[in-house]
Structure 1
Amino acid sequence: MSRQRRAARRSPAGYRSSLPWRIVTGGAQFLDRRIGWDRLPVPPGLATLLGLRVGLRRRNLHDTGRLPSVGPPDPAPPSERHRVDRTADGSHNDLGDPRMGMAGTRFGRNIPLDRIAPATPEDVLSRPSPREVSRMLLTREAMTPAESVNSLVAAWLQFMIRDWFSHGTSPTDRPWEVPLLDDDPWPERPMRIMRTPDDPTRDPAAPAGTPDTRINVSSHWWDASQIYGSNETEQRLMRTGERGRVRLWDDERSPFPSDPSRDPSRVPGFWLGLAMMQNLFAREHNAICDHLHGAYPSWGDEELFQRARLVNAALLAKIHTVEWTPAVISHPTTVTAMHANWWGLAGERVHRLFGRISGSEVVSGIPGGRTDHYGVPYSLTEEFVAVYRMHPLIRDEWPLRSAADDGTLRHCTLRDISGPGALKVLETTDMADLLYSFGTLHPGLVTLHNFPRFLQEFERPDGRLQDLAATDILRSRELGVPRYNEFRRLLRLKPPGSFAELTDDPEWARQIELLYDGDLEKVDLMVGLYAERRPAGFAFSDTAFRIFVLMASRRLNSDRFFTEYYTPEVYSRAGLAWIDDNSMITVLLRHHPELRTALAGLTNAFVPWRTAGQPLDDSQGCGSV
């Protein structure tokens, strides 16, 4: 039986075509277009989001695996351990289709495959060029803050992205050559941006016009591969071999790794925020191991490691679902919706008292429910990657302060805390002070004219200079992600009919119209996402949110370790209790109890923390302590 047919067989009968569901989706789309889900009271707003999700599941999941392919190789034959352990590469999550979602398999799409535009130079490098968009619409003069959240949201997001997806290392041959205007100060002419790696599984005999595909070198599953690695070799290197524990940099003292070849600071994108999250949840893994060892003293190293990995990955998914996401999209309807994704509308209290009271994910949440791929084999999608391009969250200026008295420790720039510089800051600054500084600093808003200046002139570890804003624009074009208006049409959203409708900022509308020569259909997706009106409480756009409505729940629905195998027999009772009983706040306080005052009274660690109230003195340089 084909992979597609097996997946379709697991979808509930009649889900897509039954009259009641057609009425639900049609009514939701009508209310959303006429009023807007965010302008409705919470109950009808929730019903509208539910209907929209049903429609997105029906029409916006498309499998690139059915395109001509020559691989990847079959994973190792299944064993009994595959039933209860996550594999290093993500294989065997679906026991009937062991390749599904594993590292090295293709990104899916949220648009029909015949709507993927080919990556021709005429389209990728068309006017305005990616560099012109970067300079004219994205450059930050002064940071626009997202005042309802703290900068841990930026660190957390990159930490999650390192788990979810990576296109891999770009080849150095055949770069895109971006033309520059005469007044552009870029030191290299033309600007060169490396291409996304080709898909090694693409059949060379595929017919002309077959859509381009790319692979995810990470596992597609929400399995904490940023901590545990994406293959057996990486996983063995990070394990201690004792009581299930993982290695912390140099015996928990110095952040510098003993082996220079394993220096994480040489990987593009490494910065202080990412290192802090890696450190925190590696320590959390070891704390879980100690807890499980106390509950089950007969368990050996392998059993402790595998159960702790399951628990840690589920805790990360829970924190993202019920804490991070409600913080960055803090509209009352979306806060309720995200909590319902995990606990159902019955709520956390009912879950704690009675467990699941219904087979319905709406009533009792997704964890512990039925595994469902909704007719399409699971994968993350290129559109999901595109809407997660949120570099404006990152600040350029990072004043670091003491958790004890809010006194200034040093003033760093983003350049100071990126690459090898991040390790130097970690070595000389207490982790509690770093967490406190992030917790009391606002991130940037995901909007136009708010891209970090440092990332527009980013020096990679290999010495090449890169404008990440221009690269983000080019990537969506290169990967065939539709431009903004077409993207909205394919999500059944009304596209703006004029530049004035695109944004509620008249000056931005004028700038965009001028840059795109009056052609609304050419406006890049990222520009439209950054320019459009945001729902109340949102740090990013409503259009991007539609992909999250679909994919945030899909990552849970399709993963048997969050659904049918989310049981005491697989996780252990002590493991499931750990997930229920913990949050980002308890994780922070377990490893850094000196943050208790800063976190006092908070129920969400991603909102601004309390300060000691002393004035901030930014006079010292990053080299001064």
Structure 2
Amino acid sequence: MSDGGDGGLSAGRVKWAETYRGGSPEAERAEFLKLADLMLDAQLKSRKAGKARRVDRAFHAKSIAAFSGGTLTFSQALPEDLRVGFARPGASYPASVRFSNAASFAKSDEEKDLRGLALRIAVSETEHHDLLATNWPVPHARDAHQFVHFAHAVSGGGLSRAAGLAGLCRTLGVSEVRRMLGNVREALRPCDSVALESYWSRGAIRWGDEAVRYAFKPARGTPGAFPAHGAGRLSAEFAQRIAAGDVTFELYLQRFVTESLTPIEDAAQDWTERDSPPILAATLTLPRRDLTAPDAIAEQRALDDGGFNPWNTTEEFRPLGHLNRARKAVYDASLHHRSAMRWRSERPPLQNRMFGGGTRWLLRKLNTRVPWHRMRLRTSLLNLDALRYDLRAQNLVDTEPREAPPSARALPVAPLPEERAFRTYDGRANDLSDPRMGAVGATFGRNMPLETIPPDEPNAVTVCRELMDRKAFIPARTLNILAAAWIQFQVHDWVAHQRRKLGEQDLVVPIPGKYPDWASRPGDTPGREMRISGNVPHPSSDWVFTNTTSHWWDGSEVYGADPERARSLRDGPRIRLNEKGYLPEDVNGMSMTGFNESWWMGLSVMHTLFAREHNVLVGELGRAYPHWDDERLYQTARLIVSALIAKIHTVEWTPAILGTEALDIGMKTNWYGPPSGDWLTKLGIWLTDVHALKGIPRTMPDHHAAPYSLTEEFATVYRMHPLIPDDYIFYDYGTGKQRLRRGFLDIQGAQADDEMRAIGLRDALYSFGTAHPGAITLHNFPRSLQHFEREGEVIDLSVVDIMRTRVRKVPRYNGFRRGLHMPEIKSWDDLTPDPETNRLCREIYGQLDHVDTVVGLLGEAPPTGFGFSDTAFRIFILMASRRLQSDRFLTVDFRPEIYSPLGMDWIERNSMTSVILRHCPELGPVLPRDATAFAPWRTV
């Protein structure tokens, strides 16, 4: 229950109040989001029924007249207690108005319908007030739940409407549906002129400390209807009327009296004039004008394309009641849908939903007996799609603080043209309907509930020394070191938690006596504790953290995540390189690039390669489109390189590290769609997910169950430090002879670029391409990363991996599996394939449910061909496609109009292999013929 008066009413009056559905504003907000989705479905059904080319309003689709130039003037006799905010006696304000038919698609003005009036009052550049009213005293729906479900049921036509009404009876009850239909039948009627109708608000609004409903009524002496006929009769009539003289309405207010006579939450109950006499508040004057003139037609188009929302106001005049509280989310969703700022795919056909649900149920049952990766190829492919479907529905949790209850706002600002055409540096405006989604500073989401085990048990140093230390290098023989460099290159684009400085609320890990002492800074006296810099939590919660880069796949590691850094890396449309084609250095001797933390030669290779790729693209675009300016050349090349990186990761790196036929087909299906001619696979995918019948870049954005963000669990499964070898040999490609040996610490930090330039890009690529990374397993953590200097502090990344995951309250390993709907590990013998490791785990942890997620993921025996565990893969299969599916620039705006025809062709034709060959063509003979560039190369 809220104190709706926010300070109370004048003495002696009954206080009004609002009641939140579900017991809280947060619960009600969740309902509103579902109602908004239903309204989008209703818009699609209406488009289909009206045979329209594009989505239009769910209601009031046909405009009768819309123009600016009106004036709202408050009455000199306005009662004292109604003189609030802009409502002052004699005050006048410019106003825009739109009259409309209420139907969801355009139909003849001769037909029975409701008519609507929408008014926008401009008080100043920053203050506007939208008032919306309909020519029937009360709506058919008591609340938003009834309104949206009714709208969804009756949108469309024929059998669809009949089925919808039958379902509505089950949802709302027969008596309520009968009442609503009766209200609608009575309200739908012919109209002679929209200037002769009265219009009532849908529910109450706040007016200072009062709660009121309002109505617009034609002024006395308004002339009768002008002669007009045909489907556009009302528009023609109003055009004649206003060409002949002013049109005037009077604005009346009715006060709240008592909850029984004038309810706030039940919008369908009339506030009778006997119980609450109308009070003249203002006069609306619509001046004489020619609505057929070109400027008037353009003005009408602009108002029709825009949107009116009763929450475009101030808190003193905010809407009240459940129906009105929902209108902010629902109307915004409707506006964004028809303005191509939000997307909704049509629901799959009924037979698909029936067979698809049955198929997924059958696969779930089968999974209890046989793991998906041990099934036949096509069955395993279906299983993967069904797994992803379930995870999308159940394992996406939004952590971003959201507005609840809704609050009044200034008039929303339309996206800038450059925001529509290009990626912003900080990730803003990828989703135009929610510009902050996925941007720098957005929170990491969750894939499952929080962990409750104390974060400091058992001691993380003990865990790492006994279970993670590399005793001998264990290679991953199906990969090369470029695969290790690539994933770090990608993670730097995706994930960067904000860290505190060492000494500010550190994570403190006591060092057991059996292990060496630790100094957190070079030169410090060794102590009996390890100190790790903590992450900065979001103000909303100590377990929610924000991303200092964007969550989108936008190449920020190359280009930077803010305009200032991006400008510092540019030379006109090109990325700044030195005369030998390498990245310049900053004052600390580090490469100047978008993100250069945890820097080593592998990253230097990747950043140099794709900076050169950008510059080649700028040249190609400049030749193809000589009229383009520097900014368009730069931004388009940035789009192309970012999409090419996403494609390489999807169809090359992923099948390389998850080396099975099912994953190769699955990831290529993500990008290209199912193999042509493979009707069995297409049929199976249709049964489980009809939208997967074409590659994600050919679909619309879809965030599924929560607004898009990367998650803490996603960051956890990408802790792949065992990929890094400790020792490296570099060769001369021309002779095949060894040039030098280096340890990891020799090729990281400020030394990385000097070493890479000395060796050269060609020989660095060749040396990494012919050597193996480490296997992602226990007892294989790089020694170099256990005493690793970063930003003036020495860190043990193995301990950091454990502690960060604990402090972020990611569930421990068994909880992680439960959260992903996988069976728990019941016996220590089943934890890893190695009995000695299982013995150590039992000794260290004591209870299976205490085993750290990182330990469980590294210890688990992966499916045949996989480079990491099946448990980690569940997060991967959910989030990997989501990074594509949510991104406007990798779905609906992945098109020649944005990328250019040359850009689309560039992405289609190129791969990691072709990028390497473009910049080091002599490497062609050693690159794999039948595998990606991340597989081991041939040696000279």
Partner deviation per Cα, 1:200-229 (whole Å, 9 max, x = no partner): xx24xxxxxx67210011010000011111
Report the equivalent of 2:601: 272
**1:377 offset after TM fit, Å?**
0.6
1:87 lines up with 2:424 in the alignment:
yes
Quote the residue 1:619 is aligned against: none
Q: Distance in 2 between matches of 1:211 and 1:427?
A: 44
Task: Tell me the distance in 2 between the aligned counterparts of 1:609 and 1:485.
Answer: 39
SS of the aligned residue for 1:297 comes to: coil
- Residues in 1 aligned to 2:344 and 2:704: alpha-carbon distance in whole angstroms: 5
* 1:101 alignment partner in structure 2: 438
Is 1:30 equivalent to 2:360 in the alignment? no
Q: Within 1, Cα distance between the matches of 2:629 and 2:895? A: 21
Q: Alignment partner for residue 535 of structure 1, among 863, 877, 887?
A: 863
Higher helix share: 1
Query: In the alignment, residue 227 of structure 1 is paired with which amino acid?
Result: V
Could you tell me the TM-score, scaled by structure 2's length?
Answer: 0.59
How many Å separate the matches in 1 of 2:349 and 2:466?
44
Q: Paired residue for 1:493?
A: 822
| Unaligned ranges ≥5, structure 2 | 1-28, 41-342, 405-409, 519-526, 680-688
Report if the CA contact (8 A) 1:399-1:411 is conserved. Answer: yes
Deviation sequence 1:29-62 (CA, Å, 0-9, x none): 2223311111111111000000000000000001
Change (3 A) 1:16 1:229: farther
- 1:222 maps to which residue? 553
Query: Do 2:812 and 2:851's aligned partners in 1 also have CA atoms closer than 8 Å?
Result: yes
Q: Distance in 1 between matches of 2:833 and 2:413?
A: 54
CA pair 363-15 structure 1, distance change in 2 beyond 3 A? closer
Is residue 181 of structure 1 aligned with residue 512 of structure 2? yes
Does 1:384 pair with 2:384? no
Other-structure match for 2:154 = none
Counterpart amino acid of residue 436 in structure 2: R
Q: Closer, same or farther in 2 for the Cα pair 1:333/1:409, shift >3 Å?
A: same
Q: What CA deviation, in whole Å up to 9, does each residue of 1:444-483 have, x standing for no partner?
A: 0100000000111112231x22110011000110001000
State yes or no: 1:251 paired with 2:579: yes
Q: Superposed, which structure 2 residues align to 1:310-459 within 5 Å?
A: 310-346=639-675, 361-459=691-789
CA-atom RMSD in angstroms:
2.7
Distance 2:491 2:899 in 1: 25
Note closer, same or farther for the CA distance 1:485–1:258 as it changes in structure 2 (3 Å cut): closer
Deviations 1:505-545 (CA, angstroms, capped at 9, x unpaired): 2121112111112x100000011111111111111111000
Q: Secondary structure at the match of 1:191?
A: strand
CA displacement at 1:362 relative to structure 2: 2.3
Question: 1:13 and 1:490, CA in 2 relative to 1: closer, same or farther beyond 3 A?
Answer: farther
Q: Which residue of 1 aligns with 2:624?
A: 295
- Identity rate of aligned residues, in percent? 41
Secondary structure in 2 matching 1:192: strand
Structure 1 CA distance for aligned equivalents of residues 481 and 443 of structure 2: 32
Q: Is the 8 A contact 1:347 1:364 kept in 2?
A: no
Q: Is the 8 A contact 2:728 2:744 kept in 1?
A: yes
Contact 1:264–1:270 (8 Å) recurs in 2: no
Deviates further, 593-602 or 412-421: 593-602
Letter in 2 for 1:235: A
**C-alpha spacing 1:567/1:505, structure 2 compared with 1 (3 Å):** same
- Counterpart for residue 584 of structure 1: 912
1:425-574 → structure 2 map (5 Å cutoff): 425-462=755-792, 464-517=793-846, 519-574=847-902
TM-score (norm 1): 0.88
Match of 1:193 in 2: 532
Partner residue, 2:138: none
Q: Could you tell me whether the CA contact under 8 Å between 1:346 and 1:364 is conserved in 2?
A: no
> Greater shift after overlay, 91-100 or 506-515?
506-515
User: Equivalent residue for 2:223?
Assistant: none
Quick one: distance in 1 between partners of 2:426 and 2:413?
A: 11
Q: 8 Å contact 1:417–1:425 — kept in the other structure? A: yes
Find the aligned partners of 1:262 and 1:4 in 2 and give their Cα distance. 46
**Deviation at 1:267?**
5.2
Give the CA deviation at 1:123: 1.6
Pairing of 1:122-201 with structure 2 (within 5 A): 123-127=454-458, 129-172=459-502, 173-187=504-518, 188-199=527-538
C-alpha separation in 1, matches of 2:394 and 2:542: 18
Structure 1 residues 369 and 254, CA, compared in 2 at 3 Å: closer, same or farther? closer
Q: Does the residue aligned with 2:508 lie in a helix, a strand or coil?
A: strand
Which residue of 2 is the match for residue 233 of structure 1? 564
Residue 223 of structure 1 aligns to which amino acid in structure 2? Answer: D
Q: In 2, Cα distance between the equivalents of 1:486 and 1:516?
A: 15
Query: CA 1:472–1:600 in structure 2 vs 1: closer, same or farther (change >3 Å)?
Result: closer
2:637 is the counterpart of 1:308: yes
Change (3 A) 1:596 1:262: closer
Q: Any residues of structure 2 matched to 1:4-15 within 5 Å, and which? A: 4=33, 10=343, 12=345
Superposition deviation, residue 598 in structure 1? 1.2
Higher relative contact order (CA closer than 8 Å, sequence separation 6+): 1
User: Residues 1-40 of structure 1, C-alpha deviation per residue, up to 9 Å, x if partnerless?
Assistant: 9995667855557679954443333223222331111111
CA distance in 2, matches of 1:262, 1:329: 33
- Any idea what SS the aligned residue of 1:195 has? coil
Distance 1:239 1:16 in 2: 50
For structure 1, the residue ranges without an aligned partner over 5 or more in a row are: 204-209, 351-358, 613-625
* Distance in 1 of aligned mates of 2:642 and 2:918: 18
Offset of 1:167 from its aligned partner? 0.2
Equivalent residues of 2:501, 2:533 under 8 A apart: yes
Q: Are 2:451 and 2:815, in contact at CA under 8 Å, matched by a contact in 1? A: no
Greater Cα shift, 213-222 or 396-405 = 396-405
Distance in 2 separating the partners of 1:347 and 1:338: 15
SS in 2 for 1:412: strand
